[in-house]
Amino acid sequence: MLSTLITVLAIIFYTAGIIHALHAILYAKTSKSAIAWALVLIQFPFLTIPLYWILGRYRFQDYITIRREGKTSLRAVTGSALQKLAPFRVHSSRFPFREYHLPESLIGLPLTRGNELALLQNGRETYEAMFQAIDNARSYILLEFFIIRADQTGNTLRRKLMAKAQEGIRVHFLYDEIGSYTLPGNYLEELRAAGVRIEKFGAAKWGNPFQINFRNHRKLLIVDGEYASLGGINIGDEYSGNRSGFQPWRDTNIGIRGPAVQCLQITFIEDWYWAAREVPQLSWTPPAAAPHSSHLLPLPTGPADRQPLCCYSLLRLFNAAREKLWISTPYFVPDDALCAALKLAAIRGVDVRIILPQQADHLLVYLSSFHFLEDMLDAGVKFYRYQPGFIHQKVILVDNTVAAVGSVNLDNRSVYLDFELTALAIDKRFAGQVQEMLEADLGLSRQLSPGEYEDRSIWFKLAVAIARLLDPIQ
């Protein structure tokens, strides 16, 4: 009897494995991913079928469905907002740097002029600007963060939000359930009791437990539709150097005033609608253009995009570079297309420099990065290891003309699985500030030599190979 039951279960599982393997062949992102999933699903269905349900997805279908359900209410608000932005729109056909610009039809948001930009080069500068903006709020505050900690920085934020809510200022607070898994319930309850509207961005929020591989990795503050801050900085003591461990912590944000803030509000209300099924009442009157007209394009990307917008945006920047392409990223596990674009840029004579951390906060990702170094160094790409503390910033500089500051890491999770947000500034003055910042970072970094990986032990190389196989998406 027992042997018969085992045989029946084995037949069921192996049949299910074959069915799932066929699904992977039909819908996997790449042929390599399809082959890998098909092999393990057929050979080890007991273990890999549940993993496939969680890790085999690269489109966040529930987010797409719920956004479609809110099409009428969302479109009414966003359509009106985009119409009001018409005087500030920069049309690519008349733009002198259009080789850096993606079509508005693909992004859904316009490139705008008249923005005032501030480069916030560390946590202290970022929090000072954020808290001052919160203190000065007159109507509403919107927050969206991947990580919120109940430490000194997080408690300062909580007190300020509670005080503003009690003044009658509307506060909408969205946090990622996985990124903020350590956040205690009493932290949130005190905010709710003070009148703060709080929602969690949980991929399984609406009953689907097999979407936890998707995260909202955005870090965004908006105040009164006039000021915004975004970048790599979450809410926690480590970002301002007040926590033991990877110190000093090196990170960067960008402060924005001007019409582009209205575009960022569109991004926020789409995420808020996913979590709360409602569209908050906001101001959709663009602020006056700043005296110095900086062009800015917000790039919200994620697994609900019709096309892989994050990958396309990076490829556009890499391929447009003619003289200089400097990148600072904490995690470097790019796909084949991004690798090829970086190598081709170096081969055609572009000065390609990539700053990585010396220390590792995620061991698998750190090890995986070594898989790419030898081949890219051979093509002329220069790598640097930042020596003091941990460098977490996500910054790209192209030709002293374009600078991107945001939350996107150069790994497959950021590019394909996470909701990310980048500010693409097309402004030589701002790009010059970014260049000075990166030059200082390079001065604190050690350039890697071509033979460094070859000199490693066979055990280290084996660990690199295994870590590469465990990358979340191929």
Q: pLDDT of 214-229, one tens digit each?
A: 889 999 999 999 999 9
**Per-residue 3-state assignment (H helix, E strand, C coil) for the chain:** CHHHHHHHHHHHHHHHHHHHHHHHHHHCCCHHHHHHHHHHHHHCHHHHHHHHHHHCCCCCHHHHHHHHHCHHHHHHHHHHHHHHCHHHECCHHHCCCHHHCCCHHHHCCCCEEEEEEEEECCHHHHHHHHHHHHHCCCCEEEEEECCECCCHHHHHHHHHHHHHHHCCCEEEEEEECCCCCCCCHHHHHHHHHCCCEEEEECCCCCCCCCCCCCEECCCEEEECCCEEEEECCCECHHHHCCCCCCCCEECCEEEEECCHHHHHHHHHHHHHHHHHCCCCCCCCCCCCCCCCCEEEEEEEECCCCCCCHHHHHHHHHHHHCCCEEEEECCCEECCHHHHHHHHHHHHCCCEEEEEEECCCCCHHHHHHHHHHHHHHHHHCCEEEEECCCEECCCEEEECCCEEEEECCCEEHHHHHHEEEEEEEEECHHHHHHHHHHHHHHHHCEEECCCCCCCCCCHHHHHHHHHHHHCCCCC
- Catalytic residue list contains 172: no
> In angstroms, rounded to a whole number, what is the distance separating the alpha carbons of residues 377 and 304?
34
What is the tens place of the pLDDT at every residue in 338-371? 999 999 999 999 999 999 999 877 777 888 888 8
Let me know: does 231 contact 251? Beta carbons within 8 Å.
yes
Rounded to an integer, the average pLDDT of 187-191 is 95
- Catalytic residue list contains 84: no
- Catalytic residue list contains 224: yes
Q: Are strands 227-231 and 220-223 parallel, antiparallel or unpaired?
A: antiparallel
- Structure-block tokens of residue 49: 């079928």
- Residue 90, pLDDT > 60, answer yes
Which residue of the set 237, 305, 335, 399 is catalytic?
399
Position with higher pLDDT, 238 vs 141: 141
- Residue 191, pLDDT > 90, answer yes
Output phi, psi for 63, to 5 deg: -60, -45
Output phi, psi for 8, to 5 deg: -65, -45
Position with higher pLDDT, 82 vs 9: 82
Given pLDDT bands bounded at 50, 70 and 90, which one contains residue 107? confident
pLDDT at residue 261 in the model: 96
Rounded to an integer, the average pLDDT of 257-275 is 93
For the chain, domains (ranges, CATH) are 2-55 (no CATH), 61-96+108-299 (3.30.870.10), 309-469 (3.30.870.10)
- Structure-block tokens of residue 468: 């590469």
Given pLDDT bands bounded at 50, 70 and 90, which one contains residue 473? very low
Which residue of the set 62, 176, 224, 441 is catalytic?
224
- Structure-block tokens of residue 395: 């910054």
Q: Which residues pair with 352 in a beta bridge?
A: 325
- Catalytic residue list contains 418: no
Which residue of the set 101, 172, 217, 343 is catalytic?
217
Rounded to an integer, the average pLDDT of 413-437 is 94
Q: Are strands 324-328 and 395-398 parallel, antiparallel or unpaired?
A: antiparallel
> In angstroms, rounded to a whole number, what is the distance separating the alpha carbons of residues 213 and 285?
37
Per-chain mean pLDDT for the chain: 86
- Catalytic residue list contains 219: yes
- Residue 472, pLDDT > 60, answer no
Task: Please state the pTM of the whole predicted model.
Answer: 0.89
pLDDT above 70 coverage of the chain, percent? 82
81-95 exposure pattern, b = at least 16 Cβ within 10 A, e = fewer? bbeebeebebebeee
Rounded to an integer, the average pLDDT of 98-121 is 84
- Residue 2, pLDDT > 70, answer no
> In angstroms, rounded to a whole number, what is the distance separating the alpha carbons of residues 373 and 345?
15
* Among 402, 346, 348, 333, CA closest to 101: 402
Instruction: Quickly count: other Cβ atoms within 10 Å of residue 76's Cβ.
Output: 11
pLDDT above 90 coverage of the chain, percent? 55
> In angstroms, rounded to a whole number, what is the distance separating the alpha carbons of residues 328 and 460?
25
> In angstroms, rounded to a whole number, what is the distance separating the alpha carbons of residues 2 and 5?
5
Which residue of the set 176, 305, 392, 418 is catalytic?
392
Residue with tokens 């709710």: 192
- Residue 331, pLDDT > 70, answer yes
Residue with tokens 């970002």: 239
Which residue of the set 101, 371, 394, 441 is catalytic?
394
Which residue of the set 172, 219, 295, 343 is catalytic?
219
